């Protein structure tokens, strides 16, 4: 059963995401194991948010401005580190990778993302 808090959160989620991982897959005929991209989850409701962070240098240099990209989605999904997460929100699709351990909350999880370059 989904709580009222979770339903309220999901009303704010305007995106959908697909989670893919690079895994070993055994061919059922030849029994040869090879690596390929495997879809773990599809069309998960989510919310992508961007936050600018500013930090000052202790050496007196210029301030460093970075952007943190955060994905909010249901906490029932196990998203492995290093997987590819394809997010579509407001008609924009972008590929990301999970960069950190998710923050697990009562009704959702938040995952810090980086732009996807390649599988590790």
Question: CA Rg, the chain, in Å?
Answer: 17
Query: What is the pLDDT averaged over residues 25-34?
Result: 91
Q: What is the pLDDT of residue 54?
A: 66
Taking all residues of the chain, what is their mean pLDDT, rounded to a whole number?
88
pTM: 0.80
**By percentage, how much of the chain surpasses pLDDT 90?**
54
Query: What is the pLDDT averaged over residues 101-106?
Result: 90
Question: What CATH superfamily classification does 4-115 receive?
Answer: Bacteriophage SPP1 head-tail adaptor protein (2.40.10.270)
Q: What is the pLDDT of residue 72?
A: 94
- The pLDDT of residue 73 is above 70: yes
């Amino acid at each position: 059963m989904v709580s009222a808090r979770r339903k309220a959160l999901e009303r704010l989620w305007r995106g959908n995401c697909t989670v893919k991982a690079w895994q070993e897959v055994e061919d059922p005929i030849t029994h040869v194991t090879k690596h390929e991209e495997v879809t773990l989850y599809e069309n998960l409701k989510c919310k992508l948010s961007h936050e600018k962070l500013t930090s000052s240098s202790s050496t007196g240099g210029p301030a460093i401005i970075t952007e943190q990209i955060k994905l909010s989605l249901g906490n029932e999904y196990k998203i492995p580190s290093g997987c590819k997460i394809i997010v579509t929100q407001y008609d924009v699709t972008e590929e990301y990778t999970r960069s950190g351990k998710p923050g697990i909350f009562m009704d959702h999880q938040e995952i810090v993302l980086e732009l996807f370059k390649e599988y590790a």
